[in-house]
Amino acid sequence: MTDQHTIRQRINAERKALDADTLSRHADACAAQVKTLIPDSALLKVAAYRAVRGEMDPKPAIEWLWAQGHHVYLPIVDGEDMRFARWHADQPLVKRGLGLYEPDVPRDEWLHGMDLDVILAPLVAFDRRCQRIGMGGGFYDRTFEPRRQGIATPTLIGIAHALQETPQIEAQDWDVPLDYIVTEAEIIQRPL
């Protein structure tokens, strides 16, 4: 089994090689897949992210969520913790600590990830069991640790390019598997 550092290097290089047209087509196709997983029900609180370095861009999915009346949240990194702040379509973002663009909202408006309904999570690599390798900071695993105790919500959806699939990721004790992986080509559901 290849170590996570080597997997990150390989996949980051492959993502970086994708041209703008391919990135855009993948994002649109992924958004179409994501739509099928979002319940046609009441208003939802859905977290997403701003894509960097060739990540699957959730922007088309975000725009669809706004059009459906759902609330969209972006991550805010606060030391070792990650919280989420609501982001409105016309709201400017500010670049903070880890170089991420975040909504500029007061701390008392931040939500814990477990208070959301659906999470569209970035990742570097995934396998068919919906295990993920992130950037290595552990923010998603720490935030959604209660999921390891059997709490079913929020729904965790990793979005990625199909080229980010790797044969098998060795799960660590602290890893939180995703419920789904969505690529431009398919939806993978975590086996029960």
Containing 47, the helix (H) or strand (E) segment is strand 45-47
Write down the pLDDT at residue 74: 96
CA contacts within 13 A on the Cβ side of 147: 25
- Distance of alpha carbon 38 from alpha carbon 35, whole angstroms: 5
Q: How many domains does the chain have?
A: 1
Say if residues 100 and 82 touch (Cβ distance below 8 Å).
Answer: no
Looking at residue 89, which CATH number applies to its domain?
Answer: 3.40.50.10420
- Rounded to two decimals, the pTM is 0.93
Domain that holds residue 86: 4-189
Sign of CA dihedral 54, 38, 76, 149: negative
Q: What is the pLDDT along the chain (192 residues), one digit of tens a residue?
A: 568 889 999 999 999 999 999 999 999 999 999 999 998 777 899 999 999 889 999 999 999 999 999 999 999 988 888 899 999 988 989 998 777 889 999 999 999 989 999 999 999 999 999 999 887 777 888 888 878 787 778 999 999 999 999 998 888 778 888 999 999 999 999 998
Question: Given this model, what pLDDT does residue 2 score?
Answer: 66
DSSP 167: S
